[in-house]
């Protein structure tokens, strides 16, 4: 009798494991991501020092962009009008355009801060990012491999590569 129940038990566990993929709701795969679960960011920097991974689970909305911060490590993403971006492909442009408030529609700029003095700024080029808008109003931005300039205490040092993603709510929420 016990041997007949065992396959049913194993089937039930496997069904649970593969049908529940929302972060925080799945005890078997808690690292799986549901884009509507909240604020987070993950990014990887590759520069002359090597590769480093960063993440934050605290995102706050600013008037001219979306900001993800954990101590001195942060990822800031800036959009032109409309402030609340829609699903689509966005052209990555120089972070200086965000500072000058000259970002156009379907353009995005970003900067990665690492520690108190290292900053990596997006550059004009052919790189792009994708945004997905979910049913619950969250925006999820995917930064594809993108070239950035490394600045330390105001001095340009070298170039680096960044890849990552950030999730944030509709600004109007």
Distances (CA, A) of 27 to 30, 39, 42, 92: 6, 20, 22, 37
Nearest to 143 by CA among 159, 158, 157, 123: 123
pLDDT number for residue 115: 78
H or E segment and range at residue 122: strand 118-122
Please determine, for residue 137, whether its predicted confidence score (pLDDT) is greater than 60.
yes
Average pLDDT, the chain: 75
pLDDT band of 110, cuts 50, 70, 90? very high
SS3 154: coil
pTM of whole model > 0.85? no
Biggest alpha carbon distance in the chain? 74
The burial of 130, by beta-carbon neighbours within 10 Å (0-12 exposed, 13-18 middle, 19 or more buried), is given as: middle
Half-sphere exposure (Cβ direction) of 154: Cα atoms closer than 13 Å = 0
Q: Note whether 103 and 97 are within 8 A (CB).
A: yes
Spatial separation of the C-alpha atoms in residues 50 and 53, rounded to whole Å: 10
pLDDT in tens, 10-34: 444 433 333 333 333 333 323 334 4
Of the listed ranges 41-45, 78-82, 145-149, 153-157, the least confidently predicted one is 78-82
- Place 140 in a pLDDT band, splitting at 50, 70 and 90: confident
């Amino acid at each position: 009798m016990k041997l007949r129940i065992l396959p049913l038990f194993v089937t039930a566990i496997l069904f649970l494991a593969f049908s529940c993929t929302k972060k925080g709701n799945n005890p078997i795969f808690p690292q799986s991501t549901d884009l509507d679960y909240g604020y987070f960011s993950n990014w990887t920097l590759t520069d002359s020092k090597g590769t480093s991974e960063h993440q934050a689970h605290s995102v706050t909305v600013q008037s001219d962009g979306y900001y993800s911060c954990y101590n001195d490590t942060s990822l800031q993403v800036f959009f032109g009008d409309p402030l609340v971006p829609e699903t689509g492909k966005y052209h990555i442009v120089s972070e200086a355009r965000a500072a000058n408030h000259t970002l156009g529609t379907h353009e995005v700029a970003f900067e990665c801060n690492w520690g108190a003095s290292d900053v990596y700024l997006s550059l004009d080029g052919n790189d792009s990012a994708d945004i997905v808008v979910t049913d619950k109003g969250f925006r999820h931005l995917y930064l594809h491999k993108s070239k950035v300039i490394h600045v330390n205490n105001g001095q340009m040092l070298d170039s680096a590569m960044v890849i990552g993603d950030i999730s944030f709510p509709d600004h109007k929420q």
